[in-house]
Amino acid sequence: MLTRLKVSGFKNLVNVDVRFGPFTCVAGTNAVGKSNLFDAIRFLSALADKPLMDAALSVRDEGGRASDVRSIFHRVGGEYDSEMSFEVEMLVPNEGLDDLGQRAVASTTFLRYAIVLAYQQDVTFHSLGKLELIREELTYIKKGDAPKYLLFPHKPAWRTSAVIGARFSPYFISTEGGGQNRVIKLHHDAGGTRHSTREGKEARRNRSGGRPSSRLAANLPRTVLSATNAAESPTALLARNEMRSWRLLQLEPSSLRQPDDFTSPTTLGTDGAHLAATLYHLASTNGASEEKKRNENGEASKIYGQVASRLSDLIEDVYEVKIDRDERRQSLTLLVTGRDGTSHPARALSDGTLRFLALAVIELDPEAQGLICLEEPENGIHPDRIPAMLSLLKHIASDVNDPVNSDNPLRQVIINTHSPSVVAQVPEDSLLVAELKESVESGARFKHASFSPLPGTWRNKSSEKPSPVSKGKLIAYLNPISPNGSDNDEGTEADASQKVLRVMDRPDLQPLLPFSQTQQGK
């Protein structure tokens, strides 16, 4: 769970410092930096999993492509920043597996990770350049200090179940030296693989007292964090797993509509692929027996019923949601049945319905953990049904009123939007408004992204006290229709009888508008 993100030198993110709760909505007009914030999170996730160059090239540049590493650095005119820096504070699960299936147990679960990257010209790949690791650190936040850092409202029982463990050494990963002598050190940790034997406990004691492993920074093709495993540093491994779980969902209707094979993956793809297989898997492990599911008249799975109930918040005429298992074709097809008994396969459902279904499945999937970023979730949703969408998104996130467990995992949702309907209905302490602000550095003026909370909400209680959003910015969302606009070009001599009236210009609707021309004239 990402609780704080500091970024500087990445695209138009300069000296950005944002705190997150379980659910966050980032609102802003086009091209102010909402997507860049998501790109920064995706980049960090890629750095925990891939080589530096692959991570950089996985992030789109201003033109929507990724062909030049330097394009992700902040730029003023033709001059690029030489470095970019990131710092995150995060809560990680206390247990997990490495890539070889070895179980790791964290010594402590509230961590801070920092990384600085520099651009280096590469004569071999002249157009790409390369990234150099300048600094990498993984430290921890003491359990007793957690209330000072977890500022969003939550119950102590949730915090004590999420922040556990202790450590005496300050570092899991550290950086020492400079220039060509700079080294990144991986410190052995008192956590470890889950063992019940005396030998396992002895091995953990030996690791905790061992010398750190040093790597020359100039030669590193990837972060030290991305190469950790359960044997070397279990806590660093769990930090890596957490960051790798941060993903941007780009739910594509074409992927959501596809049926699945019996052998398809049983986790939902970032584009929505394998929706049918994922739902069938959840129903198989939580619902009726396999024999009953093969029988069309058999008892419906509890999972199917929960998904149907959630979908009924969006579409009133929902009776049943299920997966049709075709033995002959060995395929799985999602079906939604209305109250009139008519079944509709996924290929016949609307885009908004499919996206809503995918999120309903994520809500029930205990394996879907970590951070979920979602752009414009209101797409395809009628304005009257936006509260249902927001309710679903908030239920996907961890409930901070109950302890963390398998039914309440450390799951987090961040959305971005420019919809007035969404802004008006999200909880006030969940909203951040993105806008461009101007700064001067080394005599050069430039605009950069800023993310401001509402006055009086929990983010204003932090020591850095971010500037709250102005009321004028909020009014633009709460009363988005300009009363003085016109579809007719000024200066034309169009006949008055041909004048086009907007819907909001109708006399019978004027008294119903929040800031109508009639009211403004009073």
pTM, full prediction:
0.87
Q: So what's the pLDDT on residue 93?
A: 94
Domain boundaries of the chain, sorted by first residue: 2-245+383-442, 253-367, 482-520
Which of 477 and 386 is assigned the larger pLDDT?
386
CB atoms within 10 A of CB 386: 20
Is 299 a residue whose pLDDT tops 60?
Answer: no
Which of 173-182, 280-289, 357-366, 482-491 has the weakest average pLDDT?
482-491
Q: So what's the pLDDT on residue 69?
A: 85
Percentage of the chain surpassing pLDDT 90?
Answer: 65
Q: So what's the pLDDT on residue 515?
A: 57
Sheet holding 444-453, edge to edge: 247-249, 370-375, 411-417, 23-27, 431-441, 444-453
For residue 132, what pLDDT band results from cuts at 50, 70 and 90?
very high
Which of 135 and 79 is assigned the larger pLDDT?
135
Instruction: For residues 35-55, give the mean pLDDT.
Output: 95
Instruction: For residues 323-332, give the mean pLDDT.
Output: 94
Which of 71 and 495 is assigned the larger pLDDT?
71
Instruction: For residues 291-316, give the mean pLDDT.
Output: 75
Q: How far apart (Å, rounded) are the C-alpha atoms in residues 472 and 407?
A: 41
* Residue-wise pLDDT tens digits, 258-285: 999 999 999 999 999 999 999 999 998 8
DSSP-assigned states of every residue in 246-303: -EEE---HHHHT--EETTS-SS--TTSTTHHHHHHHHHHHHSS-HHHHHSTTSPPPHH
Instruction: For residues 453-464, give the mean pLDDT.
Output: 84
* Residue-wise pLDDT tens digits, 185-235: 999 886 644 443 443 444 444 444 568 899 999 889 999 999 999 998 999
For residue 339, what pLDDT band results from cuts at 50, 70 and 90?
very high
Spell out the alpha helix ranges (H) of 71-182: 146-149, 156-162
Q: So what's the pLDDT on residue 342?
A: 94
Q: So what's the pLDDT on residue 121?
A: 79
Q: So what's the pLDDT on residue 188?
A: 85
